Amino acid sequence: MTFAIGIGIGTRNSKGEWLEVFYPAPLLQPGSAIATTIAASVHHAGGNAAIDITPEQSAALYRALKAGGHDFAWLDAMATSQKPLVVTILDSDEAPASVPEVYLKLHLLSHRLVKPHTLNLTGMFGLLPNVAWTDEGAIDIRELPERQLQARLRGRVLEVASVDKFPKMANYVVPGGVRVAHTARVRLGAYLGEGTTIMHEGFVNFNAGTEGPGMVEGRISAGVFVGKGSDIGGGASTMGTLSGGNNVVISLGEGCLLGANAGVGIPLGDRCTIEAGLYITAGSVVTLVDSAGAPAGHCKARELAGKSDLLFRRNSKNGAIECLTNKSAIELNEALHKHN
């Protein structure tokens, strides 16, 4: 069974190297009839491959699929494309070997076809070029000065929104039922579940996101997944897996609250709260507090990883980090998370 297929339109630099690819409707584990038709049309010999096609081939592929009862109208529109076209076929979920393969996997995530940590993204950073994302599209950094000059000669300024390996998600995918106040703060490859609200200072990296519904006013770092009904407060931070030598997958369960300017470096179970301004790392020494409010021992925070119904707070008198049973799980305002 074919793992995934994407038929995309993208951008190359002057050397013919791919900078980015847009897949209007990526397919996860497509039916054998669709997979066979597409593979035959592009002469796919097997394995994982990104195959260049012409607009004429796109039109022929559309007709072949329609004859089989599969009407992809967007594919017919590609027959008029003046931009490079590509068919990316992944027979299996192996480490990507090209820019089109990386982009297909990022699209699978943002289309909610797969969840974070379910794809093999090994080596993707070495494949993705650093790109200038402009109001004229993706531009190779090495070619940016010439393009800026050309724009000036035409009497305009080339607007460079960012210089990054990843584009913003909303230029490729806008999943249903979400609010994103500042689209530049959500990268392609983010997974936003229905009912998710990303406020202006909220940030979601690739291969990370929310089950939804949920409110995000802080940072969800790469690899972090936040469960249903959880809230990331203003300025709050989750520790990712890209820097600092951290190889522990951080996650928040359902109904958690990460208070304003707080942070977490361990996985949390369900209904956990970290009070505002408190950053918990795996090595933090925590005082355990019993139901009577008395100290009951000490441990490292890593020993509490994944456990539910915990409240972490700072003792205002001695500064110690304390952990006790969380007696009041948060409740999200449903009206804030219905995005029709």
Catalytic residues: 217
Helix axes 32-41, 55-67, angle to 10 degrees: 150
197 neighbors 178 (Cβ within 8 angstroms) = yes
Secondary structure string (H, E, C) spanning 95-150? CCCCHHHHHHHHHHHHCCCCCCCCCCCCCHHHHCCCEEEECCEEEEHHHHHHHHHH
Distances (CA, A) of 220 to 45, 56, 137, 223, 260: 40, 43, 27, 8, 13
Q: Counting beta carbons within 10 angstroms of the beta carbon of residue 136, is it exposed (0 to 12), middle (13 to 18) or buried (19 or more)?
A: middle
Give the number of other Cβ atoms within 10 Å of residue 293's Cβ. Answer: 9
